[in-house]
Amino acid sequence: MGLTPLFLAGMSGGVVALLLTVFGGGGSVLAVPLLLYVVGVRDPHVAIGVSAAGVSLNALTALAGQARAGRVRWPCATVFAVTGAAAAWVGSSVAKAIDGRHLLLAFAVAMAMVGLAMLSSRKGDGDPGVRLNRDMAPRVAASGAGVGVAAGFFGIGGGFLIVPGLMWATGMTLAAAQATSLLSVAAFGASTAVNYSLSGLVDWTLVGAMTVGGAAGTVAGLPLASRLGADVALGRRLFAGLILVVAAYVAVKAIIGG
């Protein structure tokens, strides 16, 4: 493999990690299109496998930053991540058996759902000091399993579903959910990547390049996340618009077989 694909993979990892750090979700959905149409990966299954591994490692980097800031609610994060990772294995197993073009078309639909979800406003009200309890645990586990299946099937981190899932199941604030979601993003991606790797569908050289780029993207994203303030809502809308445009492009390419 030449240096150009590795450089492009690194740049792609940087973009994904920056968006993941700033917006707490949504960025990972761009990883597959970037690998297919910028880096030049030909097999959609390989793109999903590489994406899952790269997003998982990038999420760990972002998680470390959020953990140092004390924003992660670890008990809730752990239950959500464990049940969801098992479900992600199931979802990724189903996806491996689907034709690449059909999988891309379904992926385009998922991208559109991500974009539309990001356009909807989410309130930040909630309990900033929420603690996992016996009554809450079943909701957290069930929500994690449902999101995990979708994340595994599409090879995405699923942050756009994890954040509202955590808020619904626990009553935590939006900021806490965005930070806490990163453990699940990492776990879901790892489960999917291992499953794809067992079928020889992960190019670890590209994963390494994405990880290096992702570390730089996270470093750039952390100060941006704290400085955007009120402008983050506008940024999310613009980002959502970009995702919808890319979703349309992926759908057209899947339909015409390009």
pTM: 0.84
How far is Cα 89 from Cα 151, in angstroms, rounded to an integer?
Answer: 9
d(CA 85, CA 55) in angstroms, rounded, equals: 14
Which residue type is seen at 247? A
- Per-residue model confidence (pLDDT) at position 258: 56
pLDDT value at position 119? 78
CA distances to 19, 45, 117, 142, 191 from 148, rounded to whole Å, are 21, 18, 17, 10, 10
Residue type, 160: F
Weakly modelled stretches of the chain, pLDDT under 50: none
Judge whether 185 and 21 are in contact, CB under 8 Å: no
**Helix, strand, coil % over all residues of the chain, rounded to 5:** 80, 0, 20
158: left (phi over 0), alpha (psi -120 to 50) or beta: left
pLDDT at 50: 94
pLDDT score for 89 = 97
